[in-house]
Structure 1
């Protein structure tokens, strides 16, 4: 593996003004040069960096789009119950919510940058012999990004202005543009990407921050699946079955390229993102929004809050150099519905356990074969919040029976210094706890204390309030101590190969016309995702189309949790509102999953806010005030 530094071209463009230096794809340029500028390959690269720049903004994959707008679904909820803000992830937002406007603005900024870049590069007279690759390569990347930004807009807002021309003047009239129907925007997106896909780089050995041919093919599969969904009107001459067929064909093209594979370790896929490394062997992470600084200095400016807002809660006021996990608010939790997907749905019991055993139902303390490996990584049984200050003796008090007597013990940990297990009703959520303070007389240590048999490991403890652990800031992975820095170097995945395999299986299952050609292969590729998770599959589920559909949908939730895709899956399947309401009512109680009233009741309130209007975002109030050709989305 190598550190992702291949595109350190330095520098935002120097246009007579000194701007702070950045890496190629972690920039936020304010100026895209026009005609006459593109006279060298380095200048082509500088301009292209500006087109990519929106991806790496805080408004898109750094925070607003990836987390607030896209990550609140039936499997994940915003867990800051002290927040009174109007937020998309609480579904109490309005057309005036700033996050929605900032995301809209950033997407159109990316489109504007692409339009200006395309126009400038097309007009350039740079000689082919002065380029290492043809000018078409640069244009293809810019045209792909312009289409991708339009796709995100149409997916989230529905009907939106289709802006494919660079404004020729600062005339306010240039802003006036009515919305194009959603299905027409999406059709334009696939036509545009299909027209340039063969001009993109076929190699994947560079960082996953730039678009390659297989990335474009995978995104085409994603767009066609969304177009085939329940909420998008049918395009004239392109029936839904044809869209499923196209999705399958593009996903199959990625598979047949043999340029990508599943990393045998699910954990390692995300450890690589945390460590800012690229997997040169498997290339499973196909496309990422890259964040290369932590704002500790001007030359390390970045816009990513992955790991800080979503991660394992880790807070404290001192001793940063001794922390086991860098600062994180840990604001996003996995829901009980996600827990059930990992622990109860689509499972085959482990036959090594007999009826009546402590581990009946397939919960093996060793974990490897029976507990879904993705659950262990995504919903770990600990964070780093700490139980109390060892100086005051305050901590987690636990009372249990020892013979006829009640015994009270205290579990003490300094915040952020060690793993803090979830504990409830005299049960641990993890089998091993590191770093318990043994200097306090009654501090409980499950490894050596005589009372350990009375303190039970139960993997279900606090199953509906665990932090989303996918991008944890544990220092063994992040390799830095950053105190309370809110911005991180952790990348966010836009497309992974496992997603391509699941899209292929879904598209084939939904399109009988191509099943004779692809169905056996679709099942084979689908099973690779299941097998990596270490769980057994009832093969009869693959033989019935309805059962296979349900299995695929559940598998997408298990595999891609917290990656900002589930909400749009639910929308295109036509079950968004129903699933969100079900999640709100699906609250564990003491007798079936260890209930935490504060968090889970708060989650239920957020889920209860969801209605049909939330299938689309409202057009921002500020945009309506400027573009009078637009009208507000229905129901808003």
Structure 2
């Protein structure tokens, strides 16, 4: 395949971008009939259509509708892909740090991310050259600048995803019409990070706050979302990553410069509480992802990827693949839904036993059986329950695998904790403002028990450890934890800790001395009540979950009318170390980065494969 052919193939993809639909129905537009830059950017409505085409590349199975959300972030010390690993070319190879270059679950998202970058590059070149941008009315200039800022932000998001998964990826910043050589080698990730961080500074000055342009909602970039994205990317740039040249996890000497960027951006967002703040009810952060009823007047959800259309291109499989488990034939599922992502068994016990409401929102400790009743699940079968088919409008008659559940990219709780982390790192100890930010998140989690939140360490190491723990509890199942642990250089440490905890769980020792060997239950009604109540009403022998799952087995045989369920005896050495279902058996630091897809290297032989593949 020659260079000229590749260049024109790339151009053809870009010139087709005016035919795309939106990521949400209310964003639908009529496509212009021509794709020339003069026409594409000759009106604000046509420019908006181009931007929707860029947003479109966040969506679908190869975007945040499945692979980028449910496959790439597994595993850490919160969740893993369900089932047994067999080979590196299937989806479980990703979760087991054993993916091979021929894994199609890597290549298709890679292709889609670069397609998004190409579309963004097209907009970034031609919007500032348009007549409306340079000499339109004041209103037209403002609108076109907003679109330009969105394009810069979208390109940064696409690159951020590539960088955190592959490291030194080829970086293209020219419009496809200007690309002289599509065969470029790996680009130093620091240079790419620096470029997109600078781009986001430009973008945030062009895009309004949410309250200034409320029609954008949470589905398009507003100023707060761009600032939050810039903070997140700055912390990634300032964090550790595997470097082939040093054959080690390395953090650059200038890392504090990027922590300062993160702190400043988060502080600015925190000073605009009229735009974004904490939703007072943790569960209500996630329900709006499932329905048009928002439940989020505080606008904690700052940016989410919309899903619609019940198809692989624009919708999501969240809830079908990743979510609370519903058996086929129940009132909620004509075919089984959920269960593709499982909690690490010890994760349930990281939360306060009785006070932290996040546990029962985050972890599906029960499933809905074919009789539409609620039954507890094995500790190895607990699921991510921030996503639930029962929170959607889809009933048991639907055989669709797409439930139009959006994916949360950024929320205000992350801003508070990024601020607290950056402040502590910069100052060598947490300020009063950093402590307050951490405690704000904790108090929401301990609703009704606010005066009993954990004591806060005031030294640098102690406070950092509190941030590490709090982010585990707050963001489980949201595709954040693995990347946090990588940038802190804690991934290997947490795998070792998790294996140790699982052995204690298995042997009823240490902190797990009081967990039961076996529990007994009767199927009970699923009431769609608040999550804490839902878990509290699982019908266990001997009391509710907060009692039974934290005390030794009291019955010597299965009580009449009850069904037994293995608990600590469900944990075996296979769950800890086996190649099929152990805790990250293939992990070495180099494999915190994915292999470059084999097809991508065939298409661009200048790409150098990542170490260990």
Q: TM-score if structure 1 supplies the norm length? A: 0.75
Q: How does 1:306-385 map to 2 (within 5 A)?
A: 306-316=318-328, 318=329, 322-323=331-332, 327-343=336-352, 363=353, 370-384=354-368
Q: 2:79 aligns with which of 70, 76, 88?
A: 76
Deviation at 1:590, TM superposition (A): 6.4
Distance across 2 between alignment mates of 1:203 and 1:526: 24
Correspondence for 1:559? 474
Give yes or no for contact 2:83–2:581 (8 Å, CA) kept in 1: no
The answer to whether the aligner puts 1:225 opposite 2:235 as a matched pair is: yes
Aligned match of 2:374 = 419
Cα distance in 1 for partners of 2:262, 2:75 equals: 26
Of 471, 488, 506, the residue aligned with 1:589 is: 506
* Shift, 1:201, TM fit: 1.8
What is the deviation of 1:604? 4.5
Aligned equivalent of 1:616, options 581, 593, 601: 593
Match of 1:574 among 471, 475, 489: 489
Instruction: Select the structure with the greater relative contact order (CA < 8 A; seq sep ≥ 6).
Output: 1
Kindly provide the CA deviation profile for residues 101-155 of structure 1, in whole angstroms up to 9, marking residues without a partner as x: 1111111100000111222323322333673843111111001111221122111
Equivalent residue, structure 1, for 2:37: 35
Per the TM alignment, residue 512 of structure 1 is displaced from its structure 2 partner at its CA by: 1.2
> Counterpart of 1:465?
381
Asked whether the equivalents of residues 197 and 213 of structure 1 are also in contact (C-alpha less than 8 Å), the reply is yes
Tell me how far 1:554 sits from its aligned partner. Answer: 0.6
Work out which of the two has the higher radius of gyration on C-alpha atoms and give 1 or 2.
1
| Residue 420 (structure 1) shift | 2.2
SS at match of 2:176: coil
After superposition, residues 195-274 of structure 1 pair within 5 angstroms as 195-204=202-211, 205=214, 206-231=216-241, 239-258=254-273, 259-274=275-290
- 3-state DSSP of counterpart to 1:92: coil
Uncovered stretches (5+) of structure 1, i.e. residues with no partner: 1-12, 344-362, 364-369, 387-414, 423-461
Q: Secondary structure at the match of 1:383?
A: strand
Q: Could you say which residue in structure 1 is the equivalent of 2:124?
A: 118
Aligned alpha-carbon RMSD (Å): 3.2
Kindly indicate whether the alpha-carbon contact (under 8 Å) linking 1:77 and 1:333 is maintained by their aligned counterparts in 2: yes
Contact 1:144 1:192 in 2 (8 A): yes
Contact 2:343 2:384 in 1 (8 A): yes
Whether the aligned pair in 2 keeps the contact of 1:207 and 1:278 (CA below 8 Å) is no
Match of 1:412 in 2: none
Q: 1:292 to 1:540 in 2, by over 3 A?
A: same
Higher share in helix: 2
- Secondary structure of the corresponding residue to residue 123 of structure 2: helix
User: Residue 198 of structure 1: CA displacement?
Assistant: 0.9
Structure 1 partner of 2:425: 510
CA distance in 2, matches of 1:165, 1:19: 21
After TM superposition, give the deviation of residue 274 of structure 1 in Å: 1.5
Given the alignment of the two structures, is residue 605 of structure 1 paired with residue 582 of structure 2, yes or no? yes
Q: Give the distance between the partners of 1:30 and 1:486, measured in 2 at CA.
A: 32
Please say if residues 115 and 165 of structure 1, whose CA atoms lie closer than 8 Å, have aligned partners that are also in contact.
Answer: yes
**For the Cα contact (< 8 Å) 1:32–1:50, is it kept in 2?**
no
Q: Deviations over 1:557-616 (max 9, x none)?
A: 100001111111010111112322433453232634423258946775252122222211
1:600 and 1:101 map into 2 onto residues whose CA distance is 29
Structure 2: how far apart are the matches of 1:131 and 1:79?
Answer: 50
Q: How does 1:164-183 map to 2 (within 5 A)?
A: 164-168=173-177, 174-183=181-190
1:89 aligns with 2:95: yes
Q: Name the residue aligned to 2:402.
A: 487
* 1:67 and 2:73 aligned: no
Q: CA deviation at 1:35?
A: 1.2
Question: What secondary structure does 1:609 align onto?
Answer: coil
Q: Which residue of 2 aligns with 1:429?
A: none
SS of equivalent to 2:199: helix
Residue 635 of structure 1 pairs with residue 574 of structure 2 = no
Aligned residues: 516
Q: Which residue of 2 aligns with 1:190?
A: 197
Paired residue for 1:99, among 99, 105, 128?
105
State the alpha-carbon separation in 1 of the partners of residues 351 and 28 from structure 2: 35
How far does the alpha carbon of each residue in 1:141-171 deviate from its partner, in whole angstroms, 9 at most, with x for none? 00111122112211111111111001227x8
1:46 aligns with 2:49: yes
Q: CA deviation at 1:48?
A: 0.3
Structure 1's 228 and 327: CA in aligned 2 closer, same or farther, altered over 3 A?
A: same
Take 2:457 and 2:34, find their aligned partners in 1: how far apart are those partners? 51
SS of residue paired to 1:200 = coil
Q: 1:339 deviation in Å?
A: 1.9
Write the deviation string for residues 363-412 of structure 1: whole angstroms up to 9, x where unpaired. Answer: 4xxxxxx331000111243111x2xxxxxxxxxxxxxxxxxxxxxxxxxx
Q: Distance in 1 between matches of 2:280 and 2:413?
A: 11
Change (3 A) 1:555 1:416: farther
Checking the alignment, whether the CA contact within 8 Å between 1:314 and 1:416 is kept in structure 2 is: no
Specify whether residues 26 and 471 from structure 1 end up closer, same or farther in structure 2 by C-alpha distance, changes over 3 A only. Answer: farther
Where structure 2 has 5 or more consecutive residues not aligned to the other structure, the ranges are 1-13, 244-249, 516-566
